[in-house]
């Protein structure tokens, strides 16, 4: 069954800062001072990396529970390469988004074989990973000028 997830994002009036609301929770995004922001929070690309790592970690915990894999902890390190000249238009031949995302999965488990199989399952099934690996249609449904 398809589940529609929704978020609303609005500028705060402080530099480039925005507030995101989803299911009653709020997140703040900003940009570093050298990019014109106030450096009060992560930027959206960093947020994407955080969302990817969080999805990997949560999926690991979930699948470990479902498959009775002994797991005492999970930590994910994520990094990605972005050339801002792409999205700012300074270098039209450079991709607008991340060039590559790399991650390391750290699992605390007494069963190495089960932990490695778990990591492979997570890499195969993680929803955010799937969104990054395969093109997802992005549709601007409407532009409202108020």
**25 plus 88 within the same structural domain:** no
pLDDT tier at 146, thresholds 50, 70, 90 = very high
Residue 57's domain comprises: 43-132
In a domain? residue 140? no
16-50 pLDDT per residue, tens: 999 999 999 999 999 999 999 999 999 999 999 99
Same domain, residue pair 33 and 58 = no
DSSP string, the chain: -------EEEE-SSTT-EEEEETTEEEEE---GGGTS--SS--HHHHHHHHHHHHHHHHHHHHHHHTT---SEEEEEEEEEE-HHHHTTS-TTS-SSEEEEEEEEEEE-S-HHHHHHHHHHHHHH-HHHHHHHS------------
Residues 103 and 53 in one domain: yes
Residues 85 and 33 in one domain: no
Q: What is the mean pLDDT of residues 106-114?
A: 98
Mean pLDDT of all residues in the chain? 97
pLDDT band for position 139 (cuts 50, 70, 90): very high
Do residue 9 and residue 49 come from a single domain?
Answer: no
Are 66 and 116 in the same domain?
A: yes
Q: Judge if 36 and 97 occupy the same domain.
A: no
Would the pTM of this model clear 0.85, i.e. be above it?
Answer: yes
Domain count, the chain: 2
CATH number of the domain encompassing residue 67: 3.30.300.20
pLDDT in the model for residue 44: 97
Task: Supply the pLDDT for residue 91.
Answer: 95
pLDDT score, position 22? 97
Q: Are residues 32 and 98 in the same domain?
A: no
Q: Could you tell me if 77 and 120 lie in one domain?
A: yes
Quick check: is 138 in a domain?
no
Say what the pLDDT of residue 65 is.
98
Q: Do 119 and 79 share a domain, yes or no?
A: yes
Query: Do 14 and 53 fall within a single domain?
Result: no
- Specify whether 4 is located in the same domain as 60: no
């Amino acid at each position: 069954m398809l589940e529609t997830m929704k978020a609303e994002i609005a500028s705060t009036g402080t530099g480039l800062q925005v507030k995101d609301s989803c299911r009653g929770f709020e997140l703040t995004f900003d940009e570093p001072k050298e990019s014109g922001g106030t450096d009060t929070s992560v930027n959206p690309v960093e947020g994407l990396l955080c969302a990817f790592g969080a999805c990997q970690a949560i999926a690991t915990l979930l699948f470990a529970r479902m498959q009775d894999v002994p797991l005492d902890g999970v930590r994910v390190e994520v990094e990605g390469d972005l050339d801002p000249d792409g999205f700012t238009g300074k270098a039209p031949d450079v991709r607008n988004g991340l060039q590559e995302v790399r991650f390391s999965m750290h699992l605390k488990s007494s069963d190495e074989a089960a932990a490695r199989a778990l990591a492979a399952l997570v890499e195969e099934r993680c929803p955010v990973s799937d969104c990054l690996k395969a093109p997802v249609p992005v549709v601007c449904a409407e532009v409202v000028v108020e």
